Amino acid sequence: MASRLRADFQPHELSAVLRRYSIGNILRVEKQLRGSRRSPKAIVTTDKGRFLLKRRARGKDHPLRVAYAHAVQEYLYKNKFPVPRLIAAKDDDDTMVTFSDLIYEMFEFVPGEPFDGSLEATMDGGRILARFHKLLGKYESEWEPSHVGYHDNNAVRSNLNGIPAAIGKDDSVAGKEAELLATVGMLFDAYEAASDTVTEAGYETWPVQIVHADWHPGNMLFKDGLVAAVIDYDSLHLLPAVTDLANGALQFSILGGPSDPREWPPELDEDRYVAFLQGYEEADGIVAEQVASLPSLMIEALIAEAVMPIAATGSFGRIEGFRFLQMILRKTRWLQEHADHLVQVWRS
């Protein structure tokens, strides 16, 4: 089982990597606790400015994959998309630095605030996604990223099947083993039904392009109600653009709550859901034949995001896996029951 502890830089590692950059005299180095626990980050303040150093997580550190992501980011930066500027190493002008078989990248630090839940910020999240898709719609490269996303993914099914063994001995499951199996079974059935709906709608015939594949408010910084920067390009894929749209609509409208996910409301914030899609529509346009598939894609995205970390670690972040799955099932049922309404409210 993977560790739940946040990865961190070792002093000698940090010193060796920072020496590779010409960023001035270092005044302060602070841990950055946002983002993946497997990918440590540090904010580096020097007499020339502020920078963000990141170590790529294992599994997302293949040199060709990193080089591809950097090429995409540099292309976006040159086209004035809100992406942090990559900093090259001083010895070889490469934006990818290696040390002890690990890969590092450094960015110019972009100040900003987290998502405030406002309709203005939500709409801009959709608008910026449309701009992302427009810029990269015809981007070509010799190396291709994965074509496998959250839709109809056998890894999601395998992880669902593996969850009872992964968390079945946790204290939160004691005496509730049958309920855990029932929860996993219902999520499996919901994923299958959603996948079938999307496939039958013609998913395999929809054109593919570069998608972000992790479009959510946590991967953005905001300023004055607008997106100041889009970060984290570790998951670039070649998929239909609607997969980003569906995941973004879900992530910008999902409702949380107290620390116990069993108390989270099942419904989406309908106003934010519509605002996100309106922002995208204003900047680009939504393919009419794909609109009806949005709720099913949202169900697939919701289940896929939840089950993979739970199968690997037994939890979702710091939340017990069983409690989180119970919440996901309630939200999945709500999406199933309100699928037609979500399509109609957007079309209206």
Q: For residue range 324-337, list pLDDT tens digits in order.
A: 999 999 999 999 99
- 2: pLDDT confidence band, cut at 50, 70 and 90? very low
Instruction: For residue 257, give the amino acid letter.
Output: G
Q: For residue range 222-246, list pLDDT tens digits in order.
A: 999 999 999 999 999 999 999 999 9
Whole-angstrom Cα distance, residue 76 to residue 129? Answer: 12
The answer as to whether 255 is a domain residue is yes
Q: Assess whether 286 and 341 both reside in one domain.
A: yes
Whole-angstrom Cα distance, residue 132 to residue 252? Answer: 17
Q: For residue range 90-137, list pLDDT tens digits in order.
A: 988 899 999 999 999 999 999 999 999 999 999 999 999 999 999 999
The answer as to whether 241 is a domain residue is yes
Q: For residue range 291-320, list pLDDT tens digits in order.
A: 899 999 999 999 999 999 999 888 888 888
Q: Assess whether 303 and 225 both reside in one domain.
A: yes
CB distance 280 to 286 below 8 Å: yes
Q: Assess whether 312 and 171 both reside in one domain.
A: yes
The answer as to whether 237 is a domain residue is yes
Whole-angstrom Cα distance, residue 250 to residue 201? Answer: 20
Q: For residue range 29-82, list pLDDT tens digits in order.
A: 998 766 566 789 999 999 999 999 999 988 888 899 999 999 999 999 999 999
Q: For residue range 150-205, list pLDDT tens digits in order.
A: 999 999 999 999 999 888 777 778 888 899 999 999 999 999 999 999 999 999 99
Dihedral sign (CA 99, 18, 236, 297): positive
Residue 292: CB atoms within 10 A of its CB come to 16
Q: Assess whether 60 and 143 both reside in one domain.
A: no
Q: Assess whether 310 and 228 both reside in one domain.
A: yes
Dihedral (Cα; 312, 317, 319, 324), 10-degree rounding: -60
Among 84, 108, 132, the domain-final residue is 108
CB distance 253 to 273 below 8 Å: yes
Among 85, 108, 131, the domain-final residue is 108
Whole-angstrom Cα distance, residue 198 to residue 208? Answer: 15
The answer as to whether 171 is a domain residue is yes
The answer as to whether 114 is a domain residue is no
Q: Assess whether 145 and 233 both reside in one domain.
A: yes
Q: Assess whether 56 and 148 both reside in one domain.
A: no
Domains in the chain: how many in total?
2
Helix, strand and coil in the chain, % to nearest 5: 50, 15, 35
Domain of 38, in residue numbers: 11-108
Whole-angstrom Cα distance, residue 315 to residue 309? Answer: 7
Give me the count of residues in the chain.
348
CB distance 145 to 139 below 8 Å: no
Q: Assess whether 220 and 248 both reside in one domain.
A: yes
Identify the residue whose tokens are 């089950």.
307
Structure tokens, 176: 């509730």
CATH number at residue 236: 3.90.1200.10
Whole-angstrom Cα distance, residue 29 to residue 49? Answer: 12
Q: Kindly tell me if the per-residue pLDDT of 253 is higher than 70.
A: yes
Whole-angstrom Cα distance, residue 182 to residue 113? Answer: 40
The answer as to whether 134 is a domain residue is yes
CB distance 134 to 86 below 8 Å: no
Q: Assess whether 97 and 127 both reside in one domain.
A: no
The answer as to whether 6 is a domain residue is no
CB distance 138 to 132 below 8 Å: no
Q: Assess whether 278 and 301 both reside in one domain.
A: yes
The answer as to whether 3 is a domain residue is no
Query: Which of the 8 DSSP states describes residue 64?
Result: H
Q: Assess whether 88 and 125 both reside in one domain.
A: no
Among 74, 108, 142, the domain-final residue is 108
Q: Assess whether 50 and 189 both reside in one domain.
A: no
CATH number at residue 43: 3.30.200.20
